[in-house]
Structure 1
Amino acid sequence: MKLSILGATGQTGLYLVSQALEQGHEVTAIVRNVRKITIQHPLLKVVEANVFSSESLVEHFKGQDAVMSCLGFPYKLFSSISGYTASMTAIVTAMRQSGVNRIVTMTSWYTGPGSGNNSSFFVRNLLIPLIRSVLTNMYEMEQYLEKECSDLNWTVVRPPGLQNNPATDNEVMTSEGFYVPGENGFPMTNTVARGDVARFMLSVLCNESWTRKIVAMCCKL
């Protein structure tokens, strides 16, 4: 497939680019600074673009089979953020203009209000309040895709806390919820390897069962 990957210089994005190339996909890595990506491969093209501008993105989407996004935006303690919704609005506009129909993007567990009530004390009382501005904007982006993008084949992947580790062979567990519950109903884990997130994102590209759905994932230990 021909893939345009956004957030390609981020930690998860680098795993996604590498795995996509290993699988034989043609990758256009869309970045803010081409010097920040050091991967070299005959199937890789690196371009600069503004993720908040549909005009900047549309030329890099033309002729592609799918768009994949690992974009991330830093949290703010005392103010809201809008990077997820602002970038997705531009991405969707550019997709429609260029005729690309498929997108796989990444958010997080616990985006919905109150969805972390069953998480651990640390996650519930320290981590979630710290990154609440990020989770809120991720949730707004998810709502935008659900309510305004029925013409696109989108999938949102929700992972738990990200560890900068390569992919494993562990079984991927999924749930159409804000986290993956174990047998006791509580979250199965707090973390997942970034390489496994990339592995799962690539696996859903041609999996129609996750079309227009939001899926929480983790790996079975």
Structure 2
Amino acid sequence: MKILVLGATGATGRLIVAKAIAQGHHVVALVRSKAKAAADLTGVELVEGDARDAAALTRAIAGCDAVVSSLGTAMSPFREVTLLSTATRALVGVMERQDIRRLVCITGLGAGDSRGHGGFFFDRLVLPLLLRKVYEDKNRQEDAIRGSTLDWTIVRPTVLNDKPARGSIEALTDLSGVHGGTIARADVADFVVQQLTADTWLRKTPLITW
């Protein structure tokens, strides 16, 4: 497959790119600067542009079969965050116009109906004090995807770590027993790439954790 990856230069995005290439996929990355991205992304077709710009997305997505969004944003306790939802709305529009169906998007534990399942520290302190603006935008991002006609999967990892992949994770939509958790970025990357060719979680929002 030919895959467009947004957020390819991030810590998780780089692992997604590497995993996709290892599985024989052709990867295109939309990046802000080709010069800066080239050192981190080898074997990748680089397209320079802003992920919020429909024209840049249209150039990058040409000939692609699927899209992975691993866009992220920094903590923003006070300023409004709009990057995720703005880029996602633009992406959905371009994908629908180009009739590119498959979208796998990473959001996180605390988005949508996974709110309240992060454990005491995350739910009572981290999310409301440091991540509230980010998660408000993640919710808007998820709403844009849910309202689309695409074949989507929204992946919600628990707290990310940089440990080696275990190769064995839990993927859940029944969160009744979930109160926090952690998962390696490498395992997230594996799961995300799997969803490009699997329908198990089509139009679902699996939370993934160890």
Provide Cα deviations, 1:148-186, integer angstroms capped at 9, x if missing partner. Answer: 20x2101100001111234332x2211125xx55xxx24
2:154 maps to which residue? 156
CA RMSD after TM alignment: 1.8
Question: For 2:105 and 2:164, how far apart are their aligned partners in 1?
Answer: 19
Maintained 8 Å contact 2:92/2:144: no
Question: For 1:94 and 1:75, how far apart are their aligned partners in 2?
Answer: 28
1:57 maps to which residue? 57
Question: For 1:67 and 1:114, how far apart are their aligned partners in 2?
Answer: 23
TM-score (norm 1): 0.87
Kindly provide the amino acid, as one letter, of the partner of residue 27 in structure 2.
V
Q: How does 1:71-150 map to 2 (within 5 A)?
A: 71-112=71-112, 115-116=115-116, 118-129=117-128, 130-146=130-146, 148-149=147-148
> Equivalent pairs: percent with the same residue?
32
Question: For 1:205 and 1:174, how far apart are their aligned partners in 2?
Answer: 16
How has the CA–CA distance of structure 1 residues 13 and 138 changed in structure 2, closer, same or farther, with 3 Å as cutoff? same
Is 1:206 equivalent to 2:197 in the alignment? yes
1:165 maps to which residue? 163
Maintained 8 Å contact 1:59/1:98: no
Maintained 8 Å contact 1:19/1:199: yes
Kindly provide the amino acid, as one letter, of the partner of residue 42 in structure 2.
Q
Question: For 1:7 and 1:108, how far apart are their aligned partners in 2?
Answer: 15
Q: Report deviation, 1:125.
A: 2.2
Question: For 1:176 and 1:167, how far apart are their aligned partners in 2?
Answer: 22
How has the CA–CA distance of structure 1 residues 119 and 100 changed in structure 2, closer, same or farther, with 3 Å as cutoff? closer
> Which of 29, 40, 43 matches 2:42?
40
Q: Report deviation, 1:113.
A: 7.2
Maintained 8 Å contact 1:4/1:60: yes
Q: Report deviation, 1:81.
A: 1.1
Q: Could you list the runs of 5+ residues in structure 2 that have no partner in the other structure? A: none
Maintained 8 Å contact 1:9/1:36: no
Question: Once superposed, which parts of structure 1, at least 4 consecutive aligned residues long, lie more than 3 Å away?
Answer: none
Question: For 1:92 and 1:82, how far apart are their aligned partners in 2?
Answer: 15
1:69 maps to which residue? 69
Q: Could you list the runs of 5+ residues in structure 1 that have no partner in the other structure? A: none
